[in-house]
Amino acid sequence: MISLGAPWALVLLPLPILIWWLVPPYRERVPALRFPFFRRVVEAAGAQTGPGAIVRVRRRLQMIAAILGWCLLILALAQPERVGAPVEMSRSARDVVLAIDISGSMDTRDFQNPDGQPEQRFAAVRDVVEDFVARRDGDRMALIVFGSKAYVQAPLTEDLNTVTELLQRTEVGMAGPHTALGDAIGLAIRTFEASDIEQRLLILLSDGSDTASRMSPVNAAAIAQDQGVEIYTIGVGDPQAKGEEKVDLQTLETIAKNTQGAYFFAEDETALEHVYQRIDQLAPRVVESLSYRPRQSLAYFPLLAAALIGLLTLGWLQWSVRQGALT
């Protein structure tokens, strides 16, 4: 389909007629004498004559070329363009941040894989999270890992393969042996500040209690609530353990409750898979559909045609003058 990007330019088409009508050519009448024997008088007086004024009459071809050229220039100014078929695009209407605990306690081998064999906590978490990320195709995700400090492994991106690869390269203890749960929430809030999408989801997984944060997790969750961040918390590990290795389920539950999220506890890999399946059900992928029509400018066609008509007309006039001179 062909359309005009600036159809208002067509109102300029009658402009030459209006100028000719409102501002006619300057004409002046002067007295003159007509001598049938003018040449003899000049010769008798010994005067030198100059060339007289010649008013050329425009030929029909010149008028047609001028009209066509003007119309083509106005058509180019109106920006003709080819409009393609609608192209549908979809993008995520929500950003997701994964915050995963990689403190020293995540090295404990008390998880059971589907075969019943003991497995490292972080290895089980990594396998399940990779499947979860793969199912979020089209979403924007970020990855945060935390121990004594919290770090952004991957900012918000649609390149989920990179998120998965960075998760595979993550090892227990890289961020320190302690647990900075509140700092992880605070870093997630800062990560969301780079997003213009209102719906924001934080999935927070930890196996310990907060011992290294500069801000308590509950206070950080209150700020997250003000920023519209919904937090889903997952507790793994042993609630009966002592000290830092004891998972603080009460804090995780409070964080989820205060941000209108959900709290889960997983004690083995199968339970953890069920947790992520449940998160998929509670927070399904939210998609925003966009539609646009590709447009290709065609303005150069009338411009080329106008230039070609002008060159051909000029060439024809030059040829006519030469033919007249020869004859």
52 inside domain: no
- CA R_g for the chain: 40
Q: Are residues 217 and 96 in the same domain?
A: yes
For 168-177, write each residue's pLDDT tens digit: 999 998 998 8
Q: How do the residues of the chain divide into helix, strand and coil, expressed in percent and rounded to 5?
A: 45, 20, 35
HSE-up (13 A, CA, CB side) for residue 32: 6
Q: Provide the pLDDT confidence category of residue 205 given band limits of 50, 70 and 90.
A: very high
Structure tokens at 239: 């609630």
With a CB cutoff of 8 Å and minimum separation 6, the contacts of 128 are: 269, 272, 273, 276
Q: Are residues 155 and 277 in the same domain?
A: yes
Whether the per-residue pLDDT at 75 is higher than 80: the answer is: yes
For 274-306, write each residue's pLDDT tens digit: 888 888 777 666 665 667 678 888 888 989 999
22 inside domain: yes
Q: What count of other Cβ atoms lies within 10 Å of the Cβ of residue 304?
A: 12
51 inside domain: no
The arithmetic mean of pLDDT across residues 198-209, rounded, is 86
Q: Provide the pLDDT confidence category of residue 325 given band limits of 50, 70 and 90.
A: low
Structure tokens at 269: 């890999």
Structure tokens at 77: 């100014």
Residues 265 and 154 sit within 8 Å (Cβ to Cβ): no
Q: Comparing 146-160, 190-204, 273-287, which segment has the lowest mean pLDDT?
A: 273-287
The C-alpha atoms of residue 244 and residue 147 are separated, in whole angstroms, by 12
Q: Are residues 235 and 298 in the same domain?
A: no
Q: Provide the pLDDT confidence category of residue 243 given band limits of 50, 70 and 90.
A: low
The domain total for the chain is: 2
Residue from 223, 166, 228 nearest 199 by CA: 228
For residue 213, give the 3-state DSSP assignment: coil
Q: Are residues 190 and 277 in the same domain?
A: yes
Q: Are residues 236 and 309 in the same domain?
A: no
245 inside domain: yes
| Domain containing residue 274 | 91-290
String of DSSP letters for 258-297: HTT-EEEEESSHHHHHHHHHHHHHHS---EEEEEE--EEE
Q: Which has more pLDDT, 71 or 45?
A: 71
Q: Are residues 232 and 312 in the same domain?
A: no
The arithmetic mean of pLDDT across residues 208-235, rounded, is 89
Q: Are residues 197 and 69 in the same domain?
A: no
Residues 186 and 139 sit within 8 Å (Cβ to Cβ): no
